[in-house]
Structure 1
Amino acid sequence: MTTIKDIAKAVGVSCTTVSNVIHGRSGRVSAETIDRINEAIDQLGYVPNMSARSLVSSSSKVIGVISHLTPHNNESIVEDPFHSAFIGSIERTLSNNGYYLMLRTVQTTSELLAFLRNWNVDGLFFTGVFEDEFFQFLTELDIPIVLIDSYVSNSKMCKVGLEDYKGGYTATRYLIEHGHRDIAFASPPIRERGVVSERFQGYKQALAEASLPFRPELVFERELDVETTIALGTQLAKRNDLTAVFATADIMAVGIMAGIQQSGKKVPEDISVIGFDDINLCQLSSPRLTTIHQDAPLKGKLAVEFLIDLLENNPIENREIILPIRLVERDSVNSLA
């Protein structure tokens, strides 16, 4: 990994000068030299050593929540009620322990570099991380990291996840037990070894166990914004080759129900819908949404407890927690049996 010494050698200045620029103590450094140092930092991919910085400036008490989930419509992660719930839990638990939260969405390693260069955070939470170049970069960082809903592993990091596969299986099996044979799968874009992929595999397993064929034409990958999910519901209402939909997020399921109903069809009489997450909106929709429950507040609380253990160098016996799911029956699934 690039060091301050490497930057100093590339620019032709002392390590002290480079350190002063990095830490904002550049009053006696010329603008030209500052520009050259920053250019070398970018070119060489320098990442500050957060442990060393904390020795100089003391703990910032700031924890970053970094979302690597980047919808094509550029909506914020907090517009999803589920993410709002677990981020709210993270903030409350951090606050109770004397820490502050900073929320950021980053798409690339260069964006993360810029963030770390400008903010002395004590630790980081990451959501939406996959086995790719971005994750490999995370493994090189010298800072406590907790992964949330990510199917990647590193011995330095802790993880909080969910029974995603079982959730997808349970939702689909429930529809099958109620007589449905033509079941659509609706989700955000499916990425290998991600949360949605695990739920998708559970969906396919339930179909296989019931000797039902997997039909790719009944898989619908869409973004989670209101307009897109309602449009998908309208599209599904026009089809006559399905009786039920499993949506991998409640916010998508409710949008689909709205589109179906706006098209003149009824839920669940014409098309049944089951969701995933059990956000508060499920009890306000009409009909009330049958869904797979996960405990978002507990997920946030456990993630913070992991991070505090890392910050305090406490012994951690198990660095991964997988939370359970359960089915919540309401009114959006009709029985054809």
Structure 2
Amino acid sequence: MVTLKDIAAEAGVSVMTVSRVVNGQLSKVSDANIQKIQKIIEKRGYVPSQSARSLSSRSSKIIAIVAQGDGDILEYPYNASMIGQIGSLIQKHGYSPMLYFASEYQGITKKLHAWNVDGAIFLGTFDENLEKIQSDNKIPLIFTDCYSPIRQITNVGLDDFKGGVMAARYLLKKGHTNLAFVGSSTDISGVVRQRLKGFASVCTEAGYRLSAEQVLPDAPTLPALKTLCSGSHPVTAFFASADRLAITLMRQLHELGFRVPQDCSIIGFDDLPTSSYITPSLTTIRQDIHLKAETAVDLLFRHIANAKAPAENIILDVQLIERESVSSLPPDR
């Protein structure tokens, strides 16, 4: 591999002189040396290290996309869509996206510093370490779906509570009175917690209480589902906190011999493309993923342009998309 030292030796100049040419700092280098060094670079096929260039420059033109979890998070359509759209929008601004999977806090700051990034957008639940991340990195940071009480952060989120309210009201309007919720741990995710709170609040107002058995983890067991959907007063409708969970639930109910929506109705959250392709197509609470990505990127570059820009918390609206996975119950059911 060709190094700066190799080029400097062939050109008969210092390594610093070669570095200045490589990084475009030409004011302190003679025209003769610039031409000589550039010819050697072209002849020997030298490719500068991106990390070295970013460290030597005030602006690396790199934006980090920090996603919580390991590489398998791209298996989830929401994550893949958000990361893809954010990355594309970053490139349209003339910057390069750098994707980093953060399974624990300790590696985040080290990676951001090592790449000398100009800013970062965070996807996932970083609430517990958010204050530390903010204090350790003096660059624009944009968070998504954050429910931290810390005020001095910039966040783009959804009206998750409203989404839960809309789901419950729709199911009650369709005649369903014995409902259940499926979602990941509300102790970890503020997003899921707010969706459940909105859903449960409407149930309570209508005189129906969700029992502990009616709040299921994101991977409920088949026996638990069979018990809920059987007997004299079965659950007739589920609200899943994500479309992927709703689709998994459909498959599980099918395995148990229950029909959707004839025996059990399901409503999801996200409105992923898959939701309209499956049979029956999924009724869901829609979030505008493109608008969310665009808002996060716009905020980031606004803060890059103005380091004194105030923190903002932007909450995007949600919408009910009515399809085929929810049936109407007769009054006597």
C-alpha change, 1:170 and 1:233, in structure 2 (3 Å) is farther
Corresponding letter in the other structure for 1:189: S
1:171 is aligned to 167
Superposed CA RMSD: 2.3
Question: Aligned with 1:276: secondary structure?
Answer: strand
**From 269, 277, 281, the counterpart of 1:284:** 277
Matched, 1:139 2:134: yes
C-alpha change, 1:82 and 1:204, in structure 2 (3 Å) is same
C-alpha change, 1:156 and 1:272, in structure 2 (3 Å) is same
Corresponding letter in the other structure for 1:330: R
Whole-Å separation in 2 of the counterparts to 1:129 and 1:270: 35
2:61 is aligned to 61
Question: Aligned with 1:76: secondary structure?
Answer: helix
**From 230, 236, 239, the counterpart of 2:225:** 236
Question: Aligned with 2:83: secondary structure?
Answer: helix
- C-alpha deviation, 1:80, in angstroms: 1.2
Question: Aligned with 2:266: secondary structure?
Answer: strand
Q: State the aligned residue count.
A: 273
Whole-Å separation in 2 of the counterparts to 1:89 and 1:221: 29
2:34 is aligned to none
Corresponding letter in the other structure for 1:178: K
- C-alpha deviation, 1:262, in angstroms: 2.3
| Counterpart mapping for 1:16-55 below 5 A | none
CA contact under 8 A between 1:67 and 1:127: conserved in structure 2? yes
CA contact under 8 A between 1:64 and 1:104: conserved in structure 2? yes
CA contact under 8 A between 2:134 and 2:141: conserved in structure 1? no
CA displacement 1:24-75 (0-9 Å, x = unmatched):
xxxxxxxxxxxxxxxxxxxxxxxxxxxxx9794231111111123x4xxx56
Corresponding letter in the other structure for 1:66: V
Corresponding letter in the other structure for 1:321: I
Question: Aligned with 2:249: secondary structure?
Answer: helix
Q: More displaced, 304-313 or 152-161?
A: 152-161
**From 69, 80, 100, the counterpart of 2:96:** 100
Whole-Å separation in 2 of the counterparts to 1:234 and 1:75: 31
Matched, 1:310 2:303: yes
Corresponding letter in the other structure for 1:125: I
- C-alpha deviation, 1:129, in angstroms: 3.4
2:206 is aligned to 210
Between Structure 1 and Structure 2, whose CA radius of gyration is higher?
Answer: 2
CA contact under 8 A between 1:66 and 1:127: conserved in structure 2? yes
1:12 is aligned to none
- C-alpha deviation, 1:104, in angstroms: 1.7
- C-alpha deviation, 1:233, in angstroms: 6.1
CA contact under 8 A between 2:125 and 2:188: conserved in structure 1? no
Structure 2: which 5+ residue stretches go unaligned?
1-52
Q: More displaced, 82-91 or 316-325?
A: 316-325
Whole-Å separation in 2 of the counterparts to 1:285 and 1:234: 25
1:48 is aligned to none
Q: More displaced, 287-296 or 173-182?
A: 173-182
Corresponding letter in the other structure for 1:336: L
Superposition TM-score, scaled by structure 2 size: 0.76
Whole-Å separation in 1 of the counterparts to 2:150 and 2:93: 26
- C-alpha deviation, 1:77, in angstroms: 2.2
CA contact under 8 A between 2:71 and 2:101: conserved in structure 1? no
Whole-Å separation in 1 of the counterparts to 2:282 and 2:222: 15
2:288 is aligned to 295
2:49 is aligned to none
CA contact under 8 A between 1:172 and 1:206: conserved in structure 2? yes
Whole-Å separation in 1 of the counterparts to 2:85 and 2:222: 31
CA displacement 1:265-322 (0-9 Å, x = unmatched):
2000111000000000111111000000010011001100000011111775771211
CA displacement 1:194-237 (0-9 Å, x = unmatched):
10110010011011111102211111122xxxxx4xx6467424
- C-alpha deviation, 1:261, in angstroms: 1.2
2:114 is aligned to 118
Structure 1: which 5+ residue stretches go unaligned?
1-52, 223-227
Q: More displaced, 269-278 or 92-101?
A: 92-101
CA contact under 8 A between 2:153 and 2:311: conserved in structure 1? no
- C-alpha deviation, 1:156, in angstroms: 4.6
**From 216, 220, 228, the counterpart of 1:220:** 216
Superposition TM-score, scaled by structure 1 size: 0.75
CA displacement 1:60-104 (0-9 Å, x = unmatched):
111111123x4xxx5622211112222222112111111111222
Corresponding letter in the other structure for 1:256: L
Whole-Å separation in 2 of the counterparts to 1:307 and 1:61: 13
**From 252, 255, 262, the counterpart of 1:259:** 252
CA contact under 8 A between 1:64 and 1:103: conserved in structure 2? yes
Corresponding letter in the other structure for 1:250: D
Whole-Å separation in 1 of the counterparts to 2:223 and 2:249: 7
Q: Percent of counterpart pairs with the same letter?
A: 36
Matched, 1:150 2:143: no
